[in-house]
Amino acid sequence: MNLGVRSKLLVSSALAIVVGIAIGDILAVRVIDENVTRRTQEELDIRLRLVERRIAEHATPLDEPATWTTLAHDLGTNARGRVTIVRRDGVVLGDSELDESALEHAENHGSRPEVVDALAHGLGSSTRTSATFKQRLMYVAIPFRRGDVVTGVVRLAVPLTEVDDEI
């Protein structure tokens, strides 16, 4: 089949338009993902600092899991996210999504990237799929202190379904 000049131009133009739209779509998704993720992290940082202040004021000894679990549940509700309170050695003191019996079997969080960064630099963040909840989450973490001593890390996590939905 022989195509005329007009047909060749039409096919070439249509192909160029399709390729241009596909490239534009890929770039737009990447920009939207970065912007929404950055906004989400900034909002989480603010909420996390408020949570950390409450934990720093909390005078409960570190060996009372029931009290820490109750505090984590209350803070998780107020912060609209999953709050995890981690002792400096990585032991989970409380988690807003786990009850006290499940907390006994929680993995040590000392090697989680956001916890490591929070202890090393004062703030840590990470985006990954949660092994526990099987969904993509954004985590932010900061250390909490008792007096001048860093006692542990508080972490706030939210699902990135909002980011995924916007994309």
pLDDT at 31: 84
- Triad 117, 94, 58: Cα angle to 5°: 90
Q: What is the rounded CA–CA span in Å between residue 68 and residue 159? A: 23
**DSSP states of the chain as a string?**
-PPPHHHHHHHHHHHHHHHHHHHHHHHHHHHHHHHHHHHHHHHHHHHHHHHHHHHHH----TT-HHHHHHHHHHHHHHHTSEEEEEETTS-EEEETTS-HHHHTTPPP-TT-HHHHHHHHHS-EEEEEE-TTT-SEEEEEEEEEEETTEEEEEEEEEEETHHHHHH-
Beta bridge partners of residue 125, listed in sequence order: 140
Q: Quick one: tokens of 46?
A: 């603010």
Q: Quick one: tokens of 18?
A: 């399709």
> Mind listing the pLDDT tens digit of every residue in the chain (167 residues)?
577 788 888 888 888 888 888 888 888 878 877 887 788 888 888 889 888 888 888 777 777 778 888 899 999 998 889 999 999 999 999 999 888 888 888 889 999 999 999 999 999 999 888 777 788 889 999 999 888 889 999 999 998 876 667 66
pTM for the model stands at 0.78
- Ramachandran sector of residue 98 (left: φ over 0; alpha: ψ -120 to 50; beta: rest): beta
